[in-house]
Structure 1
Amino acid sequence: MEDQRAPGQWWRHGPPWRSAADGAEPHRPHWPWRSTALLTAVVLIGSNYAGHSQPDRVPLDGYARVLLLVASLLLLWRHRHPVFVAFGTAAATLVHLAGGHPYGPVFLTVAVACFGAVVAGHRWAAWGSLGLLWGGHALVALWLYRWLPPSGDQGAGVYQEIGIAAWGLAILALSELVRVRREQWARERADRLEAARRRADDERLRIARELHDVLAHSISVINVQAGMGLALLDSDPEQARTALTTIKAASKEALGEVRQVLDTLRASGVAPRAPAPGLDRLPELVQQAAAAGLTVEIEGEPPKLPPGADLAAFRIVQEALTNVVRHSGSRHARVRFAHDGDALRLRIDDDGPATGADAGGSGNGLAGMRERAAALGGTIEAGPRPDGGFRVLAVLPSQIREVQ
């Protein structure tokens, strides 16, 4: 499958090929037929031209062409067996040159093989094969040329060997640069995947908190009102009707908020059509609590906060009151807003006593409140009071100070 990214994204996110180290699924390397065929043609045709321009060397014969073909075709295995290909191309090239045949693009096969070995992580193979080629060529050019073709060869000077060594070092340096860049691409891709996973986890937790807060509060109200309605159905039908009316209103509100959360989930990146709830809905929350038989006293003025902090403060109050309805024998709760320096202190108290095995606050509700506060850099303290009640204290830091 072809890479569909724009050209500018290629350099920003790395090349289109993948490997197991890059975070992709492990797969068997492909056969580089087209590039190998092109390189083989370049080596054979270029060596033929080089033979005409170097009359002092041994003309190309069938033996020389076989060596050129072997060095080129070995590149077919450079992705599967990079070490073998690096040493194989170096050996074939060395034998070709030791036979007195013309210099030419046969060095290109060694360069491509060593490049592939370094990029694949086999640096020692690239360095070793180039060292083998250079050492063997220096031995032939400086000593063995007396007994090797072509006849009358004067050998090579030290400067020529230095030039060949510089060529090899340049190939290795370029290969190392590509290897470092590929490792950087792999790290960046892994970082992007990890960031995407974190965003998905954070979004899943956010949705879970929203659904829990909405459903726990509304179902608690519905449960209390349903019990009241059943108890009064025969003795006080009018009061039972009031309870059913409250159930209808609470269920309608819960459905609306759940729909809003699900709409946000389905349309990622699209602004919600309805504003998120905030402390401006505190009177409505107090009224719902009253319908469940809980009297709520507000102390202090609810501050004006940015949307995210406003939602967190509202959900903390909502969850705390829900816990009072579900887990406390008290029918009275106090919500107090105060400022301590640059921090907003939000305190919810009830007089107890606690009822039920999970009244200590070990469930998802308090965990969600702590996550909301922590996301803003704040803290939540929740636990029984010395006098037998229960207290939730949220401290939200200075970045959500009151908006003028």
Structure 2
Amino acid sequence: MPHLDPARLRLPSGPRADLALAGIVLVLVGIAEGQRLGSDRDTTASVIASWLLAAAVCGALPLRRRYPPAVGWWTVLGTGLYYLLSTVDGPLVVIPVAVLHALSARGRVRASVALAAVMVLGVGAGVLAGTGDVNGTALFMLTGWLIAVIALGAMRHGRVAYAEEEARLRATRERLRIARELHDVIGHNMSMIHVQASSALHRMRKDPAVAEEALTAIKQGSKEGLRELRATLGVLRQVDEEAPTAPAPGLSGIDDLVTSAAGTGLDVRVERAGTPRPLPAAVDLAAYRIVQESLTNAVRHSGARHVVVRVHHGDRELTLAVLDDGRGGARTTGSGIAGMTERARALGGTLSAGPEDAGGFGVRARLPFADHHEPIGGAADDQDPAGG
């Protein structure tokens, strides 16, 4: 006996749902109208006219996505005319009610309210005329149903709009994150390469040994830049590509930054305090990028000769300070400082950057983290594919 999986049983949706609903309503109207058939020629003509009108109303439902307001008005007016011609209470009113819900679900609440008001006024006129088909209770119930249908459609529209806005915000945050990573990686390495290339050109004839050393540093810096660039672009990889395996940069790689900066003539001293401990991947990466960007700014803008990097490991936070002896007012603006600030704020921390009272420029950051956390070697979305 075949197994029936309820998860695979799905109601029709979209145009198929419209066709199904229109077909069911038309069949039910036909059955109700069939009871009126008899020997009376006038009654037979009235039944045929009612059938044709019901078919026209039901046939318009699948067109509601292309011509929403026009289909709405046609179904409301056509249904009203049907009830004037017919003497049976057929289910044709389901069609305009479905159109009202669809209109409000697409954000056309005003059109839905206008159509509902016409329906209520039409039924109310029938009550006042004393046709006997409807009464005040029926009018009250119809009004409540129409209000509920419009409200449900509006709620659906609001949920869809909220979900779309959330998706846009996530996409925007992801683009900003990628842009920040690219700025940090490319900006730092290109700055170091630029300084080393200038030194190599200047020393090419006077001191070939120094020029060769600078070119070697350029080679190594470009290789490291490509590795980090591949790691950053790894977040854009296709689903079927192999996942990266190398860990993201962290404070364990700060010596590489010092070595790279030393190749440009910058004297960097690292001072550590507190008890070193495994950091959450996001905090470890942010700390590395802040130190990297601070050294890049010192090389590019300040003319500094000496830099002190202070790292303090606290119980629930990591504090950083990168202080140089260069020109203090040269880096008060720019995307680099903005990117560092965004990194700190994303972790619930703070970052300040500006001229120091004693001269030079300083970057100070506080990166908090939970007291109990699972040490992670690297962020999954910022890794380098195997094989470089």
Map of 1:257 onto structure 2? 228
1:64/1:292 CA distance change after superposition, 3 Å: same
Q: Take 2:124 and 2:293, find their aligned partners in 1: how far apart are those partners? A: 76
Q: CA deviation at 1:256?
A: 1.0
SS of 1:207's partner is helix
1:300/1:114 CA distance change after superposition, 3 Å: closer
Residue in structure 1 matching 2:278, options 287, 304, 329 = 304
Q: Take 1:300 and 1:96, find their aligned partners in 2: how far apart are those partners? A: 90
1:363/1:63 CA distance change after superposition, 3 Å: same
Q: CA RMSD in A?
A: 3.6
SS of 1:60's partner is helix
1:33/1:373 CA distance change after superposition, 3 Å: closer
1:44 aligns with 2:18: no
| CA deviation map 1:303-326 (0-9, x unaligned) | 531111100000000110111111
Q: CA deviation at 1:278?
A: 0.1
SS of 2:43's partner is coil
Q: CA deviation at 1:332?
A: 0.4
1:230 aligns with 2:201: yes
Q: Take 2:58 and 2:44, find their aligned partners in 1: how far apart are those partners? A: 22
Q: Which is further off, 367-376 or 33-42?
A: 33-42
1:240/1:115 CA distance change after superposition, 3 Å: closer
Cα contact 2:120–2:142 (8 A) shared by 1? no
Q: Take 1:248 and 1:278, find their aligned partners in 2: how far apart are those partners? A: 22
Map of 2:333 onto structure 1? 362
> Percent identity over the alignment?
36
1:194/1:252 CA distance change after superposition, 3 Å: same
Q: Take 2:218 and 2:9, find their aligned partners in 1: how far apart are those partners? A: 55
Q: Which is further off, 334-343 or 277-286?
A: 334-343
Map of 2:355 onto structure 1? 384
Specify the code of the residue in structure 1 equivalent to 2:300.
R
Residue in structure 2 matching 1:208, options 134, 158, 179 = 179
**Which structure has the higher relative contact order (CA within 8 Å, separation 6+)?**
2
SS of 1:320's partner is helix
Cα contact 1:94–1:133 (8 A) shared by 2? no
Map of 2:382 onto structure 1? none
Q: CA deviation at 1:252?
A: 0.7
SS of 1:392's partner is strand
Q: Take 1:82 and 1:394, find their aligned partners in 2: how far apart are those partners? A: 60
Residue in structure 2 matching 1:344, options 301, 305, 318 = 318
1:58/1:342 CA distance change after superposition, 3 Å: same
Q: How does 1:103-252 map to 2 (within 5 A)?
A: 103-105=88-90, 108-117=91-100, 119-120=102-103, 121=109, 122-130=112-120, 132-133=122-123, 135-136=125-126, 139-141=129-131, 165-166=137-138, 173-252=144-223
SS of 2:370's partner is helix
Q: Take 2:152 and 2:335, find their aligned partners in 1: how far apart are those partners? A: 45
1:118/1:401 CA distance change after superposition, 3 Å: closer
User: Could you say which structure has the larger radius of gyration?
Assistant: 1
Q: Take 1:273 and 1:366, find their aligned partners in 2: how far apart are those partners? A: 30
Specify the code of the residue in structure 2 equivalent to 1:253.
E
1:9/1:365 CA distance change after superposition, 3 Å: farther
Cα contact 1:67–1:96 (8 A) shared by 2? yes
| CA deviation map 1:96-124 (0-9, x unaligned) | 33xxxxx353xx12343244335434235
Specify the code of the residue in structure 2 equivalent to 1:132.
G
**Paired positions, count:** 353
Map of 1:73 onto structure 2? 56
Specify the code of the residue in structure 2 equivalent to 1:126.
A
| CA deviation map 1:74-110 (0-9, x unaligned) | 344453342343244224313433xxxxx353xx123
1:92 aligns with 2:82: yes
SS of 1:395's partner is strand
1:61 aligns with 2:32: no
Q: CA deviation at 1:33?
A: 6.7
SS of 2:292's partner is helix
SS of 1:345's partner is strand
Q: Take 1:203 and 1:328, find their aligned partners in 2: how far apart are those partners? A: 31
1:115/1:134 CA distance change after superposition, 3 Å: farther
| CA deviation map 1:156-199 (0-9, x unaligned) | xxxx855x844x65555455444333333322222222222222
Segments of 5+ residues of structure 1 without an aligned counterpart are: 1-5, 19-29, 98-102, 143-159
1:286 aligns with 2:238: no
Query: TM-score, length-normalised on structure 2?
Result: 0.77
Segments of 5+ residues of structure 2 without an aligned counterpart are: 1-5, 65-69, 104-108, 376-388
Cα contact 2:126–2:134 (8 A) shared by 1? no
